[in-house]
């Protein structure tokens, strides 16, 4: 599980508005995770890092306990 980092804009990583609902966050995550998935970009370290960032953002934004850190 990812740890909340106050220096990251998780909404921007997923390309959604700060008032995005769960369905919009999930849709953005699925689209970006497919785009940057290591199996689709073998050997591409930038795509791998982006994939990890997208997964972290989704984890934070879908975990209500972690999301409270963003809102507070």
Q: What is the pLDDT along the chain (72 residues), one digit of tens a residue?
A: 678 888 999 999 999 999 999 999 999 999 999 999 999 999 999 999 999 999 999 999 998 666 666 655
Q: In angstroms, rounded to a whole number, what is the distance separating the alpha carbons of residues 53 and 7?
A: 13
Class for domain 22-64, per CATH?
mainly alpha
Helix boundaries (H) for the chain: 10-14, 22-36, 45-62, 64-71
> Domain-by-domain residue ranges, the chain?
22-64
Q: Return d(Cα 54, Cα 59) in angstroms, integer.
A: 9
**What pLDDT sits at residue 52?**
96
Q: Is 0.75 surpassed by the pTM of this model?
A: yes
Quote the tokens at residue 43.
């050997």
Give the Cβ contact number of residue 13 at 10 Å.
Answer: 20
Q: What are phi and psi of 29, to 5 degrees?
A: -60, -50
């Amino acid at each position: 599980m990812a740890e909340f980092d106050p220096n990251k804009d998780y909404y921007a990583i997923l390309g959604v508005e700060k008032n995005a609902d769960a369905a919009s966050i999930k849709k953005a995550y699925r689209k970006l995770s497919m785009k940057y998935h290591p199996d689709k970009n073998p050997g591409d370290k930038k795509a791998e890092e982006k994939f990890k960032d997208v997964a972290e953002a989704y984890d934070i934004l879908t975990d209500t306990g972690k999301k409270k850190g963003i809102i507070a």
